[in-house]
Amino acid sequence: MVAINSFTANAAGVNAVGDLVAKVFAPLGFEATRVPPASGREDRGAHLFLATPAVPGRPTLALVSHLDTVFSADEEARNDFAWRREGRRIYGPGTNDIKGGTALTWLMLMAMREATPKVFAGVNWIVALNACEELDSEDFGAACARMLPAETRACLIFEADGGVGEDWAVVAARKGRATFTVRVEGRGAHAGGGHARGANAIVQLAAVVGRLAALTDYAAGVTVNVGTISGGTVNNRVPHEAQATLELRAFDPTAFARAREAILAFSGEGTIRSADGHACRVNVTLDDECAPWPVNPDTERLIALWQAAGADLGLAVARQERGGLSDGNVLWSRFPTLDGLGPRGEHSHCSERSPDGRKEQEWVDAESFVPKARLNAMAVTRLVAEVGDAADT
């Protein structure tokens, strides 16, 4: 998988990884269904759903990964970023995010089929792989709503483990994200002879972005990051336009909604005016959003199962709340969801390295696969038993 470039915009590469995954899972009894991207997104690959034959009355479990990475073929070549093993570490594009997670999914299922065949055979398994997770999950979430039975017992996401040292961790919640564009329309004028007639859009934008950034509230888990800013054309002209882009992130849905509305409320007449009273105009647009995955009882119940399984194996399993997004953001409200079930590694999304070690490429810990697969298998066995007890009751 690592040898195939699957940059999100490389639809052919994404589909090639999907073909390889389907081939590898087929001996375990999985049949493949490919779901094309939504209309207008023909530059993206197809989502992949692998399923064992469904038997009525058996619980359905969905194991979730994705096919794409953030690295273009040019970037991989430029930084000599390819499969490379050094001791416990395997470097390469997607080793940690998330091709390692897909490999660990296969390892867990193979182990369960061999060691606990009755448990393996007693589950309707679905492996769901997003073709464009690194850009968005909305289309994949809609596909899951169609492809996964409403009674699916859990969506288990194989993003990287976030444990420290030899400890392990699963993910309980993730921040939501919304992006915005702020556009300011001023009035141009000659910077020397007509300065007073101008309404400086850059000055207005500077005043606005400072107030937007001040909406950040670490105590409430809310961050507002102004990411880009541009405006004007030449130095001898009062700039007539300027724009900035920013993103909002928050864990709590109420705090997220409140900050979202506060950002949009900046639209309207500005405070920067020309001498004759012409005011700048501020326009804030919401470009896209993915709602938070907050702490919730269904996820906490799954965490308890993983921690109990860890205790049986002598493994400490912590819970984390992460600022980055995953497919969990679009799945948790439909199905009980747990994340962070992949192997352990570091430096996801990084392709550069330097001799002084300050830049290091993405890597996965080769020795984390077996213990994490054992942990997941034990926890899934507990989950299936719990479902059986509930059905008996």
pLDDT tens digits, 330-381: 999 999 999 999 999 999 999 999 999 899 999 999 999 999 999 999 999 9
For residue 107, pLDDT over 60 is answered with yes
Q: Are strands 268-273 and 279-290 parallel, antiparallel or unpaired?
A: antiparallel
The Cα 294–Cα 228 span in angstroms is 28
**What is the architecture, at CATH level 2, of domain 11-175+292-392?**
3-Layer(aba) Sandwich (3.40)
Mean pLDDT, to the nearest integer, of 113-125?
97
The confidence score (pLDDT) of residue 52 equals 98
83, 37 contact by CB (below 8 A) = no
The confidence score (pLDDT) of residue 388 equals 60
Helix, strand, coil: what percent of the chain each, to 5? 35, 30, 35
Query: Closest by alpha carbon to 91, among 373, 352, 370?
Result: 352
For residue 248, pLDDT over 80 is answered with yes
Label residue 387 by pLDDT band (50, 70, 90): low
Label residue 393 by pLDDT band (50, 70, 90): very low
pLDDT tens for 151-190 read 999 999 999 998 887 889 999 999 999 999 999 999 999 9
State the residue for tokens 């570091």.
Answer: 346
The confidence score (pLDDT) of residue 389 equals 53
179, 289 contact by CB (below 8 A) = yes
Say if domain 177-290 classifies as CATH 3.30.1180.20.
Answer: no
177, 247 contact by CB (below 8 A) = yes
Query: Closest by alpha carbon to 286, among 270, 262, 269?
Result: 262
65, 134 contact by CB (below 8 A) = no
Label residue 313 by pLDDT band (50, 70, 90): very high
Mean pLDDT, to the nearest integer, of 45-65?
97
Name the pTM for this structure. 0.90
The confidence score (pLDDT) of residue 326 equals 95
The residues, ordered by sequence, that sit 6+ positions from 214 with a Cβ below 8 Å of its Cβ are none
Q: Is 277 exposed, middle or buried (0-12, 13-18, 19+ CB in 10 A)?
A: exposed
The Cα 276–Cα 273 span in angstroms is 8
Q: Please check whether the two domains, 11-175+292-392 and 177-290, share a CATH topology.
A: no
220, 249 contact by CB (below 8 A) = no
> What six digits make up the tokens of 251?
């864990």
Q: How many CB atoms lie within 10 A of CB 234?
A: 7
Share of the chain above pLDDT 90, in %: 93
In this predicted model, which residue has the larger pLDDT, 38 or 209? 209
The confidence score (pLDDT) of residue 38 equals 82
Label residue 41 by pLDDT band (50, 70, 90): confident
Angle of helix 369-392 relative to helix 297-313, nearest 10 degrees, comes to: 120
Mean pLDDT, to the nearest integer, of 215-226?
96
pLDDT tens for 225-234 read 999 999 999 9
For residue 390, pLDDT over 60 is answered with no
The Cα 270–Cα 101 span in angstroms is 49
Residue spans per domain, the chain = 11-175+292-392, 177-290
The confidence score (pLDDT) of residue 365 equals 96
Share of the chain above pLDDT 70, in %: 98
Query: Closest by alpha carbon to 252, among 225, 283, 221, 207?
Result: 221
Angle of helix 99-115 relative to helix 369-392, nearest 10 degrees, comes to: 60
The confidence score (pLDDT) of residue 206 equals 97
Mean of per-residue pLDDT scores for the chain: 95
Q: Give Cα 242 distance to the centre of its chain.
A: 30
The Cα 39–Cα 41 span in angstroms is 6
Query: Closest by alpha carbon to 239, among 183, 186, 182, 184?
Result: 186
